[in-house]
Structure 1
Amino acid sequence: MKSGEPLAVSDGLPQPQRRQAVWVIVLGITLAVLDGSIVNLALPGIARELNAAASQAIWVVNAYQIASLVTLLPLAALGERLGYRRVYLVGMALFVLASVAATFATSLTTLTAARALQGLGAAGILSVNSAMVRLIYPSARLGRGIAINSMVVATSAMAGPTVAALILSVASWPWLFALNVPLGLLTLWMGRRALPVNPMRTHAPPVFSLLDVLLNVLMFTLVFLGAEQLGVRGDAAAGASLNGWALLAGGVGIGAIYLRRQWSLTAPLFPLDLLRLPVFALSMGASVGAFCAQMLAFLSLPFLLLEVHGRSHLEAGLLLTAWPLATVLVAPIAGRLIGRYPDGALGGVGMAVFALGLLLLGLLPDQPSSANLVWRLMLCGAGFALFQSPNNHTIVTTAPLHRSGAASGMLGTARLTGQTLGALMLAAIYAAWNSHDGQGEAIAMYLAAACAVLSGVSSSLRVRAATLR
């Protein structure tokens, strides 16, 4: 540890370092999560300016998602070995450099490569952010710290199109990446001053085998690509479908080899040791289901508002802000409820409210008023906020302190896995109902509600599992 670096202790950082460290975490999460969806609205313009087909331009999004997904767990393990602070700051530095490259990209190949590097940098940030929160806050205030984290993740994920629309209304698409540079440099400067280093190690660090890292990358990549072909191109030629199944089978086969290698390790790269804990496993299942439901709704809502109900882009953008607004209002309340009531019960209630909101969106009348839309959207945002903070609190605190990095990596992995599943489900729905007359959107909302119910059941089961520990 260098002189002047704040050391993580059992009761968190003292003020004002704690406040500064929280701002670093908030800024980092905002940049990393926002960039996962901020490009979507600009894809037509990017394809047109760089002379690329729409099917090729989608890789500007996919490259970021895949790079993040496949490296979250390896970077979390690296954080347990080398320090969360180092992984976070190096990830942010790479994110800034990649943003510069994306800003000045003159071809789709260059832009896609820059986005992949951005995704790698984002994985460095997201893989350890929850572990950092556990070191920054005293145990008595950890619930509120996790609530802030959860609120920022949820609102950043939903705010991508709105922020993109504001930027694109006054500037060209490279500015979507250029604005990352000053904010990223500010985060780096503050992070070097405020972020704590890991406490003294009392357990053996996780085994970090390059072969296991390669297997982890191949497993997630092949499963993602296979599912993408089967879901997005379900109406394509039989050859594309066959390729999708082959990729999926390859990913599952490699995953079996990979998990077999991890099975007997005390601190595995893929945290099977944590997944053997029933409460942790149920929390992970609940998280995947919740983010799957969120992504189904998030991607189908623009079609519902623009195509089905004939709202303008401005009206749609303003209406959609009701969801993150409700999340911002409810997340602090959820943080205060942590510790007073079981996390599993809070999560179950939150998913019940979320499922009700989604179901009511699917049952909208033909010409709903703005008020009719707003309260349904706010119901969704409030329910998700009530679920996410307690669920994340369970995931983070169930893991032993020396495995905080693994738990943090699994948080991001669950989120990206759920979002990917939701996107693929919607692609399959639109392959069957592509007229955007409201039927496909309604089915998407019903399926999202079903996913939320399954998530709520998984969350509620933790109450019993916790009593049996």
Structure 2
Amino acid sequence: MELFSDQPGDEGLPGAERRLAMIAVMTATTMAVFDGTIVNVALPQITRALDAPVGTAIWVANGYLLATAMTLATFASLSGRIGFRTLFSAGLAVFTLASLGCALAPSMNMLIFMRVLQGFGGAAMLSIAPAIHRTIFPNRLLGRILGMNAVLIATSTAVGPALGGTLLAALSWEWLFAINVPLGLVAIYLSLRAIPGKRSATRAPFDVAGALLSAVSMGAMIMAADACAQLAHHGQEGEAALTAGAYALVSVAAGIGFVKVQRRVREPLLPLDIFASARFSLAALTSLVSFVGQGIAFVALPFLFQNAYGYTAFESALLFTPWPIGIVLVAPHAGRLADRHSPALLSTAGLALFTVGLGLLALLPAQAQAWDICWRALVCGMGFGFFQSPNNREMLGNVSRERSGNASGVLAIMRTFGQCLGAAVLGIILSVYAAAALSHGEVHMSALEDAAAIRLALWVAVGATALASLVSFSRIRKARVVGA
């Protein structure tokens, strides 16, 4: 297989070690993605088994996301100081032990605590996984391996709910976490054996202020998005709006403080000089705006399928499956093409197709058939798959190998921030429609009102991805100017 063949002048690891390191990273990535999707299916059973309120059980999912988001930048920075092998293996060990703790948790509070620990371990792995690929593979294969990584994440996302449902049907909820233990042990062994352990020689003190401000900014942003999601709940609009506004202000203030700190410390948590590359900065901005559109669609479509069209939760999950299937079909080819042709051009073409797919979903008829939904979702997945691999290659390929850990962290932050902003936008739109229904004496929105709100949200997503396409297109012109 070409991924593991050696050629004169290749950077990275020899083929045999490259294979072992790739297996370790992809196993860990699969575990982390599964744990972000599987648990939602099990929340009702976990709530009953641990005799806990539904409101508390939500933190089984939110605690993991919050801990991950708050520490992405910190772990990306630490990777240069302690080395990829040490950080990745330690994160994997924490994740695996926390998974065992989740399986053995006797109470809801203990389960939430273990999920937070899982989030820390997941952040240590996910923040540097693309950078490890950059380190172990030569540049000529970077697009290809990033395409495979996109396929892995899409497949894990698609299979997660079905696998969770199958395990719950045959076994108890504890096995959703226990299954990580043997996989984690294998991945730890492989990572210690094959992932490079090189670290920077800096002796400057760690940027503690930057780490704290980054955690506060990202954490408050997640909480603001969660509060926005509550805006549509009848009777909670005023309180949720105030809460969301307060968290948003804290997030912005901490973000401004973070940038100021990065400009003056000797060894910043996130070196701002990586944004000196216009192609890197535009790729990061493209990623952020595109994930806003994806975030809106991911949260909005289940509302459309279930509330407006009357499909069950299981049927809704099946209707969504063509999206990740589209990514699986296209991403590997897009990654290979990105190694030979302009990643900016490929990304722009993918975003254009993604925009068309979202527009097709927004134009769904009032009584849409399953096949009509599926082919439109497939177009979205194919467009996003054609965009993601080349864009990630553009980000990682336009920084030095020494900065690849920081670039990997930026990539993860753009994805998280974009998806959360998309969820917040949807919450605001649903809140406006819910308030209008209440003013007309309706306790809940009708199916027609639900459909109208979701279609508006999907058109907003179309606008976001169209804007991302324009930003991406500007990279093509810039690349031509540089080439000239």
Q: Normalised by the size of structure 1, how large is the TM-score?
A: 0.91
CA contact (8 A) 2:210 2:268 kept: no
Deviates most, 353-362 or 445-454:
445-454
The alpha carbon displacement at 1:68 in A equals: 0.7
Alignment match, 1:89: 89
CA contact (8 A) 1:303 1:436 kept: no
Specify the code of the residue in structure 2 equivalent to 1:63: G
CA contact (8 A) 1:207 1:268 kept: no
The alpha carbon displacement at 1:79 in A equals: 0.6
The alpha carbon displacement at 1:436 in A equals: 4.6
Alignment match, 1:173: 173
What is the count of residue pairs matched by the alignment? 459
Gaps of 5+ in 2: 1-8, 435-444
Deviations 1:38-80 (A, max 9, x none): 2222223323333333332221111111111111111111111
Specify the code of the residue in structure 1 equivalent to 2:478: A
Deviations 1:232-260 (A, max 9, x none): 23662644433432332223222222211
The alpha carbon displacement at 1:319 in A equals: 3.2
1:3-402 equivalent positions in 2, closer than 5 A: 11-198=11-198, 201=200, 204=202, 208-233=206-231, 236=236, 238-265=238-265, 267-402=267-402
Alignment match, 1:420: 420
CA contact (8 A) 1:10 1:135 kept: no
CA contact (8 A) 1:150 1:392 kept: no
Alignment match, 2:4: none
* Residue 444 (structure 2) pairs with residue 458 (structure 1): no
Deviations 1:156-210 (A, max 9, x none): 3444333322322323322221211121112112222222223x75x74775222
More helix by share: 2
Q: Structure 1 84/267 Cα, relative in aligned 2: closer, same or farther at 3 Å?
A: same
The alpha carbon displacement at 1:111 in A equals: 1.4
- 2:266, 2:333 → 1: CA distance? 37
Alignment match, 2:411: 411
Alignment match, 2:459: 446
The alpha carbon displacement at 1:358 in A equals: 1.3
Q: Normalised by the size of structure 2, how large is the TM-score?
A: 0.88
Deviations 1:444-469 (A, max 9, x none): 32222222212222222112233445
SS in 1 for 2:196: coil
**Seq. identity, %:** 37
- 2:177, 2:371 → 1: CA distance? 35
SS in 2 for 1:16: helix
CA contact (8 A) 2:230 2:237 kept: no
Deviates most, 227-236 or 325-334:
227-236
CA contact (8 A) 2:95 2:118 kept: yes
- 1:182, 1:268 → 2: CA distance? 37
- 2:228, 2:313 → 1: CA distance? 31
CA contact (8 A) 1:294 1:448 kept: yes
CA contact (8 A) 2:88 2:124 kept: yes
Deviations 1:268-317 (A, max 9, x none): 21332222332222111211222222222222323333343333455433
Specify the code of the residue in structure 2 equivalent to 1:34: F
Deviates most, 254-263 or 39-48:
39-48
CA contact (8 A) 1:89 1:188 kept: yes
Q: Structure 1 284/197 Cα, relative in aligned 2: closer, same or farther at 3 Å?
A: same
SS in 2 for 1:246: helix
Specify the code of the residue in structure 2 equivalent to 1:453: A
Deviations 1:393-438 (A, max 9, x none): 0111111111111001111111111121222222223333554542
Q: Structure 1 442/272 Cα, relative in aligned 2: closer, same or farther at 3 Å?
A: same
The RMSD of aligned alpha carbons is: 2.3
- 1:451, 1:266 → 2: CA distance? 36
